């Protein structure tokens, strides 16, 4: 499992029919900054993930990749490599709160 920030959405009108109706988000993985563990830093890649939870832009999410992504409810038959499996409320690193949802 990995942490990521939702940075956008992906719209695809032409796709494999089994993907019809699947919401796709663009994620930027978040890494704990080794120079300052009280902060995150952006990962160098972006991920497209299926989202069944309704995460929004700017939110921090928990996602998984590979065969684990298809273990989430209703995703087993889909040809996916990443899925949002949680919307993060808070993250604590070394006893310090480094992320708290503003909602």
Q: Is 80 exposed, middle or buried (0-12, 13-18, 19+ CB in 10 A)?
A: buried
Domain that holds residue 17: 2-100
* pLDDT over 70 at 103, yes or no: no
In CATH, what number is assigned to the domain containing residue 41?
A: 2.40.50.220
Q: Residue 61, SS3?
A: strand
Report the number of distinct structural domains present in the chain: 1
**pTM here?**
0.91
Residue 60: other Cβ atoms inside 10 A:
21
Mean pLDDT of 24-36: 95
What's the confidence (pLDDT) of residue 102?
A: 79
Residue scoring higher pLDDT (97 or 102): 97
Q: How far apart are the C-alpha atoms of 66 and 54, rounded to whole Å?
A: 21
């Amino acid at each position: 499992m990995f942490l990521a920030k939702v940075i956008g959405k992906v719209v695809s009108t032409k796709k494999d029919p089994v993907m019809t109706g699947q919401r796709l988000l663009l994620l930027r993985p978040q890494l704990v900054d080794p120079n300052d563990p009280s902060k995150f830093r952006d990962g160098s890649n972006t991920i497209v993930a299926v989202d069944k939870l309704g995460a929004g832009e700017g939110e921090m999410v928990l996602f998984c990749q590979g065969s684990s992504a298809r273990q989430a409810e209703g995703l087993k038959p889909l040809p996916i490599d990443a899925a949002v499996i949680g919307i993060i409320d808070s993250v604590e690193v070394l006893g310090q709160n480094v992320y708290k949802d503003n909602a």
